[in-house]
Structure 1
Amino acid sequence: MDAADRVRKVISDNKLSLKDFSEKIGVQYRTVQRYIAKERALSSDFLQAMTDHMDVSASWILSGKGDKYLGEGPNGRTSNSDFVSIQRFDIAASAGHGALSESEIGTGHYAFNRTWLARRGLNPDDLAVIAVRGDSMEPELYDQDLILLDRSQTSPRDGDMYVVRYSGDLFVKRIQVVPGNKVELRSTNRFYGPIMVTLPQGETSNALDLTFIGKVVASMHEW
């Protein structure tokens, strides 16, 4: 059973027609048809709509792991106290040549299991969910993937993945620390070359045109 099959299962569990389901979550009928027919990958907006309107875990849809429903549903009740709400922001970190940030306004929330976060040493107050745009981090991250960002971790560590603002654009890149007070912003996709940035003397994280927004601690494929 894949993600599209699990969406179909939710529709069946709730005894909805495809038309009723599309109206309930506010997604166009033809778009839902394409998802169900596996003609296109599920978008982050579609997953958000299912979370908001059906109380379905985006993690379960994508992976089949964990609880299906966040609240009351055919699968039984999951205590709300077991979950914490993390805000999604209306910005996109480019995994390509760079995308100007959109307005940094919260556009919804995702529910995360408190135990899952605690095991990873993550403080919910420091976290945010944003989308990825572009293909330079494939196959680690794909266009429209959601990532979980820890905004308290802004000092670059060699080999880790960060969201950075560089020359006014947001990027998601792996960091390579280079001798001489430099960092290299690296893509996973070999068709994109690295970006070398020199940090001001005495600085360990930010240059005049480079700011570390936070460390990527998980993607939608993991939660």
Structure 2
Amino acid sequence: MKTKKEVENSLSSLKSELESESSFHERLQNVVEAFGTASSFAKASGISPSGFHRVLKGGEPGLQMLISISKTAGLDLNELVFGESSTGGASNVEGAGIITIPRVDIQLAAGSGALNGDSIEKVEDIPFTKGFLGGKLGRSSADDLIILTADGDSMDPLIADGDLVMIDKKRNTLSDGVYAFVYGGLARVKYLRPTLQGDIEVISQNPTHKDELLKRSDLEDFHIIGKVVWCGHRFS
């Protein structure tokens, strides 16, 4: 970590050492997108939302704001400002050998349904090695990946109550598979199967839970969050 004087010197030469200020703002935008929303990031950082949105739109941040942003993002100042890590440590954007994926506070109902909150707040960052993500999931970055928590036993034994479920938000085109979705204001995880008639079969893995059929005419409130690509199973 640089001293305050070193950081001030770095900031004073920011315009001359970066190709443009947009380089910093692009990195900041990537951090915000990985976190969830600009408002939730500002809240977690203790920054005024209006001031943070001003910086996102191209404004120049002060030193204290940079420090707050770097702490919340898990980046050192050099990496945040210049895109180069001075510590070689991991970051929640793309660290040395480690990629962290945000776990957010939505409870995915693997049962009768759990309310989907009006806002999504990040709970923590969960680290994965690049080798694991590349070898198991074919991914080189955490873009559009989030981790949610399953609640209920309708998908047991595939997904148990309390399991961590990784969702790829880019994979939101429906085909046969396990998806996280919102229907009628409820966030859920189920096996989905589209029919030729345009309906959607909602299938539980636990035989004690009945399957459902969402009619095509009732899909106005249906929204796919993303496809389940990994599950961290918890043993009792």
Task: Summarize the alignment of residues 107-186 of structure 1 with structure 2, pairs less than 5 Å apart.
Answer: 107-119=123-135, 120-122=137-139, 123-158=141-176, 160-186=177-203
Q: Distance in 2 between matches of 1:209 and 1:186?
A: 18
In the alignment, structure 1 residue 192 sits paired with structure 2 residue 204:
no
Note the residue ranges of structure 1 that are not aligned, 5 or more in a row: 1-70, 72-79, 201-205
Give me the whole-angstrom Cα distance separating, in 2, the residues matched to 1:110 and 1:165. Answer: 24
Aligned to 1:87: 102
Q: Is this contact kept in 1: 2:178–2:227, CA < 8 A?
A: yes
Q: Whole-Å Cα distance in 2 between the matches of residues 179 and 121 of structure 1?
A: 31
Report the TM-score, using the length of structure 2 for normalisation. 0.55
Runs of 4+ in 1 over 3 A off after TM superposition: none
Identity across the alignment (%) = 30
Q: Which protein is richer in helix relative to its size?
A: 2
Aligned counterpart, 2:41: none
User: SS where residue 136 of structure 1 aligns?
Assistant: coil
Does structure 1 retain, via aligned residues, the 8 Å contact 2:101–2:146?
A: yes
In the alignment of these two chains, the number of paired residues is 138
Post-superposition CA distance 1:143-183 (Å, at most 9, x none): 1110111011111111x100010111011000112220111
Corresponding residue for residue 8 of structure 1: none
Q: Does structure 1 conserve the Cα–Cα contact (< 8 Å) formed by 2:160 and 2:233?
A: no
CA distance in 2, matches of 1:136, 1:192: 6
Scaled by the length of structure 1, the TM-score of the pair is: 0.58
Q: Look up the equivalent residue of 2:216 and give its one-letter code.
A: L
**Structure possessing the higher radius of gyration over alpha carbons:** 2
5+ residue gaps, structure 2, are 1-88, 90-94
